[in-house]
Amino acid sequence: MKKPKPRLDIPPRSNDNRKPKLYEVMDTEALAALFDGMTYEGSSKHKQLPHLFGLEPFRGDRGDRTLCDRHAAFRPSDFARVPRMLARARAASLVGNFIWTVDDNGWIYELAITNAGLNQYHGYPLRPSEAIAEKVFIRFHAWAELHGEVEDVAAARACRNFYGFRS
């Protein structure tokens, strides 16, 4: 197999002290408690052109944050896929101290809590260099092969090819 092309100009993580952890597969009730009432809201700090998403400009320093539109080519029209990506995260139990999901194009997104009281999350593309990416892929790939729809299997294959995983 050929080595994949180098990634886009994603900035390296300046501080890897955050310790993302994928929990053991959760039971249906625990997943329901986490995902029921969950909402996704875009964040301007993870968009190069937030105005295209109907978001206010981000005025702070983005630092090493990944950008959905610049790095993963996620466009406003792609929001239609968000419910399916959240359903994938739930079905494959891609949960831990963050929530992860896999897009149809192979990108892994990490979801972080924005407002705990509203069960509101925002997401951003995961760097290929982050160790959690392969763990998320392994779990998602196993779930997709056993329980997923055709689109889920295709997303797992796209993820493997895009991130260069061998599994």
pLDDT in tens, 51-68: 999 999 999 898 889 999
pLDDT over 90 (residue 1): no
- Mean pLDDT score of the chain, rounded to an integer? 90
Rounded alpha-carbon distances, angstroms, from residue 31 to 20, 23, 40, 121 = 18, 12, 16, 15
Total structural domains within the chain: 1
Q: Which two tokens stand for residue 9?
A: 């100009």
Domain-located, residue 6:
no
Look at residue 3 and tell me if it is in a domain.
no
* 73: nearest Cα among 84, 64, 81: 81
pLDDT at 63: 87
Q: Please compute the mean of the pLDDT values over residues 147-154 and round it to a whole number.
A: 97
Whether residue 45 is contained in a domain is answered as: yes
Alpha helices (runs of H) in the chain, residue ranges in sequence order? 28-35, 68-71, 82-91, 131-147, 150-163
13 in Cβ contact with 130 (< 8 Å): yes
Closest Cα partner for 93 from 158, 32, 164? 32
The whole-number pLDDT of residue 166 equals: 80
Maximum Cα–Cα distance for the chain, whole Å?
A: 47
Residue 138 lies in a domain: yes
Residue 9 inside a domain? The answer is no
Q: What is the rounded average pLDDT of the residues 135-143?
A: 97
In a domain, 128, yes or no: yes
Q: Is residue 85 part of a domain?
A: yes
Given a cut of 70, whether residue 154 has pLDDT beyond it is yes
69 has a pLDDT exceeding 60: yes
Amino acid identity of 80? A
Task: Say if residue 78's pLDDT is above 80.
Answer: yes
Residue 68 sits in which domain range?
Answer: 28-163
Q: pLDDT by residue (tens digit) across 24-33?
A: 999 999 999 9
Percent of the chain with pLDDT over 70: 89
Q: Is there a contact between 139 and 93 (Cβ–Cβ < 8 Å)?
A: yes
* 16: in domain: no
pLDDT of residue 19: 84
Read off the pLDDT band of 129 (50, 70, 90).
Answer: confident
